[in-house]
Amino acid sequence: MDIFLQLIITGLMVGGIYALVALGWTLIYKSSGVLNLAMGELTLLGAYVSYTFYQWGIPFLPAVFLTLVVGALVGLLTERLCIQPLIGEPTLTVIMVTVGLSFFFRAVIALIFGTDTLVFTPPVFPSEPIRLGEVVIGQVYVWSFVAALLVLLVFVLFFRYTRWGLAIQATADDEMAALSIGVSAKFVYAVAWAIAFMAAGVGGALLGNINGINISVGYLGLLVLPAVVLGGLNSVPGAIVGGLVIGILQNLAGGYLDNLTIAGLKVIPGGVKDIFPFVVMTVMLWFKPYGLWGWVKIERV
């Protein structure tokens, strides 16, 4: 039983970070209709940028804040240079542009920083784990979860109580209506992309603390796609719930399904943890493609 709780709580912690990155993805999709496959590389960018700032001697919190600023700038640039010219083009074109950007970012980062695993030195979080009853959680996980929750809270408050946030919500809901009451779509696109890049940047900075920073952190950012498929592409609470659920399911699968032996025969030798979110995604796509809270698309011929 305690293994079960342990897995769930660790999964929840990591799921908080996935939820943050998934929020950014959903934001881009809702406001500009772009399916961004570069989220993995954006988390990578955030991780390496925060690492650089940290290595320059800036304490961790201001380093994360500076990562936010850099993320916002890169997001604005990307949106202006690469996405705006492609408004109205077919979906595949825009997806492939994000793919091209992801290749470019990953390659440039690898050229600048190399492929070795980099670790935050001195360690950001104390290595003494926290004990809750029988469950042992590393402090990295707890503080990452808290940070992710805080950032999520800030974003939700931003969307609800500021004019800019309301403008973004209005455009995401019905662009024509928002345009007609004076909301500038260009502005909304730019802010949405900036926020998504910021979310991914913070997510990367937090993820980088867990196992060191490596090119493979980008793969973790790719898990945002099962999360949004689970929650529904169009739904912000769906993205958050999806991220948490994917984190939990991934850890449960890793704990229980790895080395599964049925009647003495080793059915699943291992390596389930990496691909289980994609299995979940495939199952969702077979039975409920629009996710838990997504909008069902009705196509007219």
Partner 1 sequence: MSAMRLPCGVYHERYQQDHAWWQTRFVWVRMVSLCLLLFIGLPALGNVYLLSVANVVGYTILSALGVQLLIGFTGQVTLGHAAFIAVGAYTSAIGMLQFNLPYPVSLMLAGLLAGVWSVLFGLPSARVKGFYLIMTTMAAQFVTVDFVIAQYISRIGERGHYFSLPPGTVSIGPWVIDNELSVYYLMLVLVILSLVFVGNLLRTRIGRAWLAIRDNDIAAEVLGVNIVRYKLLAHFVAGVLAGIAGAFWITSLYFVSPEHFQWSWSLWLVGVILIGGVGSLYGVIYGAMFMTLVPELLKALLFVLTQSPTMVALFPFIPQLLDKFLFVKEATFGLAIVLFLLYEPKGLAYRWWQIKNYIHLWPFSY
- Interacting residue ranges for partner 1, rule: CB under 8 A: 35, 82, 85-86, 89, 91-93, 95-97, 99-108, 110-111, 225, 229, 233, 268-272, 274-275, 278-279, 281-282, 285-286, 289, 299, 301
- CA 254 and chain centroid, separation: 20
Helices 91-113, 39-55: crossing angle, 10 deg rounding:
30
CB of 194 to partner 1, least distance (A): 19
Rounded CA-CA distance 273/116 in Å is: 23
- Give least dist CB 57 to partner 1, A: 25
Nearer to partner 1, 175 or 274 (CB): 274
3-state secondary structure of 267: strand
266-284 burial: b if 16+ Cβ within 10 Å, else e:
eeeeeebeeebbeebbeeb
3-state helix, strand, coil in the chain (%, to 5): 70, 5, 25
Q: Of the two residues 199 and 233, which places its CB atom closer to partner 1 in the complex?
A: 233
35 burial class (0-12, 13-18, 19+ CB within 10 angstroms)?
middle
Closest approach of partner 1 to the CB of residue 115, in Å: 8
Determine the 3-state secondary structure of 207 from DSSP. Answer: helix
> In angstroms, what is the minimal distance from the CB of 133 to partner 1?
34
* Nearer to partner 1 among residue 178 and residue 229 (C-beta): 229
* Half-sphere exposure of residue 246: CA atoms within 13 angstroms, side-chain side: 36
Tell the smallest beta-carbon distance from residue 140 to partner 1 (Å). 25
- Work out how close the CB of 28 gets to partner 1 at its nearest, in angstroms, rounded to a whole number: 13
C-beta closer to partner 1: residue 35 or 292: 35
